[in-house]
């Protein structure tokens, strides 16, 4: 049952917490566990859980700095040094596909963030798989029987990654309704496939090849050279190097499936980073995710969006 599976993922994410904090996390009722998206720890404040309707505190006991330090030890397997690259990006990718985002006092090396001297807050993002969430969208993503390049747009936390993963799973799995594609998944932050010992822990389809831990701009070029993909999928186009790689993939005749931070199509048009992609017609489909209360709505726009 889907609710039970989601509640199990909550319990799995709670194992990353120190025992004293874990007990508070498990105070949440089963229905809340199934809906929870994040666990939020802030020094001096009670543990909170992020639900579709907003944050809710669990108990009244304040999180301590020592508990945050223990969280990092558990999330990194007691080896912060081995997770240096991730810590320098402000997060830790964990077994099971969960991710721990961090804030606090950082130290710099050569002018760039290199890690934390002290942490003041953490967000444990719970990995989610939502089977069937892409079902109503799929027919509109094809033209002349072939999948067409698609960009998923939404603000942070609206479910872009979950929808992207589900689309990859469906497109890379045998089906009587749609063609089956070779998909190369560029999973820079390890959230999409949750690779562990070379195997995805989250279902990304039977014909998906995953390259994780590599900057998206380099990963796209690597899979184009090595894996002969029909679709290249990547999460969060965030800088000019990403857009350049997207153009190169498109010019190679490969379809694209990607996400972008944007609250609306007008928001997308207004951002210089996306202007060239829009004017160049890189994407033919645009999926906008909106949250109304605790529910998500998916709006599909087909054709070139343009800059007007």
- pLDDT tens-digit series, residues 158-184: 889 999 999 999 999 998 888 999 999
**Pairing, β 183-187 against β 146-147:** unpaired
pLDDT at 196: 78
Q: With contact defined as beta carbons under 8 Å apart, do 183 and 176 qualify?
A: no
What is the structure's pLDDT at 278? 86
Per the CB < 8 A criterion, the answer to whether 52 and 291 are in contact is: yes
Q: Is the pLDDT of residue 3 over 80?
A: no
Q: What is the pLDDT of residue 2?
A: 66
| pLDDT score recorded for residue 280 | 85
Q: What ranges do the domains of the chain cover?
A: 2-125, 138-302
Overall average pLDDT of the 281-302 stretch: 87
Q: Which two tokens stand for residue 54?
A: 């907003």
| pLDDT value, residue 106 | 80
Report the pLDDT averaged over residues 38-63: 95
CATH number belonging to domain 2-125: 3.30.450
Q: Average pLDDT of 97-122?
A: 84
Residue identified by tokens 């994410």 is 13
Which residue reads 């009587």 in tokens?
Answer: 176
Say yes or no to pLDDT of 257 above 90: yes
Planar angle of CA 299, 301, 302, nearest 5 degrees: 145
Q: Which of 32-46, 113-127, 142-156, 239-253 has the lowest mean pLDDT?
A: 113-127
pLDDT (tens digit, 9 = 90+) per residue, 111-154?
A: 777 777 788 999 999 988 888 888 889 999 999 999 999 999 99
Average pLDDT over residues 59-65: 95
Q: What pLDDT was estimated at residue 308?
A: 45
Q: What is the mean pLDDT of residues 243-262?
A: 93
Q: Which CATH superfamily is domain 138-302 in?
A: P-loop containing nucleotide triphosphate hydrolases (3.40.50.300)
| Per-residue exposure over 103-116, b if at least 16 CB sit within 10 Å of its own CB, e if not | eeebeeeeeeeebb
- State pLDDT tens for residues 188-239: 888 899 887 788 988 999 999 999 989 999 999 999 999 999 999 999 998 8
């Amino acid at each position: 049952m889907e609710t039970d599976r989601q509640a199990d993922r909550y319990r799995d994410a709670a194992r990353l917490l120190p025992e004293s904090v874990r007990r508070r996390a498990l105070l949440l009722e089963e229905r809340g566990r199934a809906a929870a998206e994040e666990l939020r720890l802030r020094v001096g404040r009670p543990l909170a859980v992020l639900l579709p309707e907003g944050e809710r505190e669990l108990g009244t006991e304040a999180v301590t700095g020592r508990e945050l330090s223990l969280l990092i030890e558990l999330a990194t397997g007691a080896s912060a040094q081995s997770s240096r690259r991730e810590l320098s990006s402000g997060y830790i990718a964990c077994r099971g596909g969960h991710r721990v985002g961090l804030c606090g006092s950082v130290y710099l090396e050569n002018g760039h963030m290199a890690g934390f001297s002290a942490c003041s807050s953490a967000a444990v993002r719970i990995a989610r798989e939502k089977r069937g969430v892409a079902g109503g969208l799929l027919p509109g993503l094809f033209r002349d029987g072939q999948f067409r390049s698609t960009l998923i747009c939404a603000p942070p936390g609206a479910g872009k990654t979950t929808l992207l993963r589900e689309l990859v799973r469906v497109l890379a799995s045998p089906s009587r309704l749609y063609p089956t594609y070779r998909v190369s998944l560029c999973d820079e932050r390890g959230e999409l496939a949750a690779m562990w010992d070379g195997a995805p822990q989250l279902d990304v389809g039977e014909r998906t090849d995953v390259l994780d831990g590599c900057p998206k701009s380099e990963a796209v070029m690597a899979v184009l050279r090595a894996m002969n993909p029909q679709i290249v999928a990547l999460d969060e186009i965030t800088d000019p190097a990403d857009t350049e790689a997207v153009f190169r993939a498109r010019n190679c005749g490969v379809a694209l499936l990607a996400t972008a931070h944007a609250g609306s199509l007008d928001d997308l048009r207004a951002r210089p980073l996306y202007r060239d992609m829009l004017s160049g017609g890189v994407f033919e489909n645009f999926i906008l995710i909106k949250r109304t209360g605790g529910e998500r709505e998916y709006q599909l726009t087909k054709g070139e969006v343009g800059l007007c």
